[in-house]
């Protein structure tokens, strides 16, 4: 059985996602994934075989987690249109025990990025990276860091249909108050463009990548979300409270938080060696 695609279906799907109160980032991702699928097939009719072929194409091009993320978007679209026979199974991914050392940003590397931003006189990026790394917020939540949030030292964040309060460190608030004063920002979000709009993810990503050569940090480690990971690992290493950490990060599942707190294999090796259970 085949289905015919037209632009109205995507428009209807977008309206459905809006009514479901999906975040703007989630909405954009779903629509992007569905649109790219239909661009790939470059024809009006699709069937289960076509979807399976696309799944194979994704497996060759992307990591398993990324493939599953895209398939999830497509399955949601098929569900919405009641095209249940087109849905495909997710890839089975073995549970990852250790974090990849070449992917995780260390505290020393983070410090070098801060030094690079300061040396380049990029105050906005200097304070932005510290804001994410000291609070654990998502880059999409930076718009919640407003003048009023800094004054009361807490930000109210509404993300993915959930509202939470993020406490902001006293020292961070002092720095941001001073920064806002020098930039003559009197209300609204602190991290904005020259036209007064909140900085978007792409702009922040590019600014951080531009620091890599000066900071001596591999580019594959430098992106906004890794600052959130560094916050999570640092918090957990000190507090050992994964439930509280999940609340701070806005995770609905502790299993998601466990991914953030994974240490590298080298850390586990040192811990095991300290057990003192070998006689030499």
Going residue by residue through the chain (280 aa), what tens digit of pLDDT does each one get? 456 566 788 999 999 999 988 888 889 999 999 999 989 987 667 899 999 999 999 999 998 889 999 999 999 999 999 999 999 999 987 665 555 666 789 999 999 999 999 999 999 999 999 999 999 999 999 999 999 999 999 999 987 677 899 999 999 999 999 999 999 999 999 999 999 999 999 999 999 999 999 999 999 999 999 999 999 999 988 898 999 999 999 988 888 888 777 765 555 566 667 777 766 6
**Domains identified in the chain and CATH numbers:** 3-86 (1.10.150.130), 107-268 (1.10.443.10)
Look up the pTM and report it: 0.66
User: Cβ(140)–Cβ(159) under 8 Å?
Assistant: yes
CA distance 158 to 23: 9
Neighbour-count burial of 267, counting CB atoms closer than 10 A to its CB (0-12 exposed, 13-18 middle, 19+ buried): middle
Neighbour-count burial of 223, counting CB atoms closer than 10 A to its CB (0-12 exposed, 13-18 middle, 19+ buried): middle
Which residues partner with 163 through β-bridges?
158
CA distance 60 to 155: 42
The encoded tokens of residue 252 equal 């609905």
DSSP secondary structure letter of residue 91 = P
């Amino acid at each position: 059985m085949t289905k015919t695609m037209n632009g109205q279906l995507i428009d209807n799907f977008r309206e459905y996602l809006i009514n479901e109160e999906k975040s703007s980032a989630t909405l954009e991702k779903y629509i992007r994934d569905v649109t790219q699928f239909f661009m790939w097939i470059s024809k009006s009719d699709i069937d289960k075989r076509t979807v399976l072929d696309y799944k194979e194409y994704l497996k060759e091009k992307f990591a398993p987690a990324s493939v599953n993320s895209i398939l999830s978007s497509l399955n949601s679209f098929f569900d919405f249109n009641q095209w249940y026979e087109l849905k495909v199974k997710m890839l089975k991914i073995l549970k990852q025990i250790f974090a990849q050392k070449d992917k995780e940003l260390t505290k020393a590397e983070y410090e070098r990025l801060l030094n690079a931003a300061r040396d380049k006189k990029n105050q906005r990026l200097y304070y932005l990276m510290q804001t994410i790394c000291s609070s654990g917020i998502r880059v999409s939540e930076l718009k919640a860091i407003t003048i009023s949030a800094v004054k009361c030292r807490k930000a109210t964040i509404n993300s993915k249909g959930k509202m939470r309060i993020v406490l902001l460190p006293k020292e961070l608030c002092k720095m941001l108050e001073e920064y806002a004063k020098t930039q003559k920002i009197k209300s609204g979000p602190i991290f904005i463009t020259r036209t007064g709009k909140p900085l978007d993810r792409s702009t922040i990503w590019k600014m951080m990548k531009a620091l890599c050569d000066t900071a001596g940090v591999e580019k594959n480690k430098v992106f906004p979300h890794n600052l959130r990971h560094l916050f999570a690992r640092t918090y957990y290493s000190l507090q050992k409270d994964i439930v509280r950490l999940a609340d701070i990060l806005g995770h609905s599942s502790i299993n998601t938080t466990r991914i953030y707190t994974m240490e590298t294999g080298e850390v586990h090796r040192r811990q095991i060696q300290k057990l003192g259970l070998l006689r030499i």
